Chains A and B, each alone.
Chain A
Amino acid sequence: MKQPTGQISRLGTFKYLAQRFAFLSLIGLTFALMLIGKADTVIVERVSMAVSDAVTPILRVMAEPAASISKFVTNVQELGAIREQNTDLREINARLLEWQAVAQKLENENRQLRALLGTVNEPEARAVSARVVADYGGAFAQSVLITAGGRDGVAKGQAVVTGEGLTGRVAQAGYRSARVLLITDINSRIPVRVGEAGDRAILTGNNSPRPRLIFLGVKSAIAPGDRVVTSGDAGAFPPGLPVGRVVVADESSALIEPFVSRDRLQYVEVLDFGLTGFLADTDGPQ
């Protein structure tokens, strides 16, 4: 072999080896990352939220066009049905006024009875409104990024709701953004009560639009259509937040359809009840 070619091939070999070394060490680093992530250290969470905080302003701008288009489409659709809707709304309004009277009467009665029994009042919630700027994860994880964080009083473990019901909980809170784990995520576990009997169950996400109910102890007859609300067990969430409706109920399993749909999330409210349940950090001073 001639001299120059030999040099070139030696250079090529060197380059090849360097690349191979880079590849192998990065693969090693990746496995190290998996271990760190699995150990669930605070560092991963901090870094993750720092990254989210940094990209939130960009995502906020990027989310604008889609939001505008969606608003426009909804406006046009609503315009077509406005007359019909108006009649419907009038009817509903009349009915709701009756309900309001009933509710007021019951609330008064409830207050008097509570006073008689000496019940401790439940804490009032402080709500923070935030915009959803990113829907993460596709098929592998179900979480959204919202534009409120530590500076607005958002903290890990707080319940996130919309007008329809429970959306999820704050999984990580950064300074100006927070990651909300939706109730459909595979890592989501929510203590709930089902139906009129109020059977206790754990709502377990499975990355599909219909999370599953796992019953604790007694399970009475559950039928499709039964309402599912948060139970407030373990101090994770305030009790009574609407979650969804049972759609499939057989011997082995029950699936629910959440009231809140992932696709329609634009604004959410983060509720702070001052609860520090098991979902909040436990490594602080007790």
Chain B
Amino acid sequence: MTEITQRRTTWKKLDARVRTILPFSLTVTVLLFGMTPTYVPGLAQITPMYTLVAVYFWAIYRPDLLGYGLGFAIGVLEDLLTGAPLGVGTLVLLLIQWVVFNQHKFFHAKPFVITWFAFGLVAFGAVLLKWVGVGLVSSSGPTPFGDVFASYLITVAVYPIIAWLFSKVRSGLLDEP
């Protein structure tokens, strides 16, 4: 009898543990997803920056589960994987978290359209900073801004899809009644 209860609590603990790392693992998943080749002409150039969406989303809705430490980890992972100048993407993600955490009152419990619009602003700042940062750190000068801007627009366009998926996960698995 006691053994069963014990086993049950172990399962519960494990279950809770898995749930708490969900935002992080989902963010890594969208990062890897963004890297898989699509074979669609012209798309590789302007792939959406999925990590911006994911980090912004979790910073608003579950800041307790994706804090600065994990934001940093995601940034380093992305920089190492993409071969972009190390540290620049990390800095950008940390700053997004900083903005959202500090303006929590503004971002919290707002209608979707407003969060989306705010994402448009935050992401523009982020992309601009990344563009400048990559240009400064890399020895070959700036990347053409046209593709970067197109990539930004696509990132803003995919925000609703990712946010919808994540909020399904959030309401289904994370925010228990």
Q: Give which listed residue, A52, A187, A207, A263, contacts B43 with CB less than 8 A.
A: A263
Stretch of B68-76, B108-116, B118-126 contacting A (4+ beta carbons < 8 Å):
B68-76
Contact between B151 and A139 (Cβ–Cβ < 8 Å)?
Answer: yes
Contact between A179 and B91 (Cβ–Cβ < 8 Å)?
Answer: no
Q: Mark A196-231, 1 if CB is under 8 A from B, else 0.
A: 000000001111110000000000000000000000
- Docked pose: A139 CA to B43 CA in angstroms: 10
Chain A hits for B86, CB < 8 A? 33-34, 36-37, 44
Q: Mark B85-123, 1 if CB is under 8 A from A, else 0.
A: 111101100100110010000000000000000000000
Stretch of B4-12, B53-61, B133-141, B162-170 contacting A (4+ beta carbons < 8 Å):
B133-141
Contact between B77 and A51 (Cβ–Cβ < 8 Å)?
Answer: yes
Q: Report the nearest A residue to B151, measured CB to CB.
A: A139
Q: Give which listed residue, B68, B87, B137, B148, contacts A23 with CB less than 8 A.
A: B68
Contact between A66 and B37 (Cβ–Cβ < 8 Å)?
Answer: yes
Contact between B91 and A27 (Cβ–Cβ < 8 Å)?
Answer: yes
Chain B hits for A62, CB < 8 A? 32-33, 36
Give the contact-size bracket for chain B.
35 or more
Which of B72, B139, B144 has the largest number of chain A CB atoms within 10 A? B72
Chain B hits for A132, CB < 8 A? 37
- Docked pose: A136 CA to B45 CA in angstroms: 9
- Chain B residues proximal to chain A, CB less than 8 Å: 32-49, 67-69, 71-72, 75-77, 79-88, 90-91, 94, 97-98, 101, 130-131, 134, 137-141, 143-144, 147-148, 150-151
- Chain A residues proximal to chain B, CB less than 8 Å: 19, 22-23, 26-27, 29-34, 36-38, 44, 47-48, 51-52, 55, 58-59, 62-63, 66-67, 70, 132-141, 143-145, 171-172, 179, 181, 186-187, 204-209, 261-266
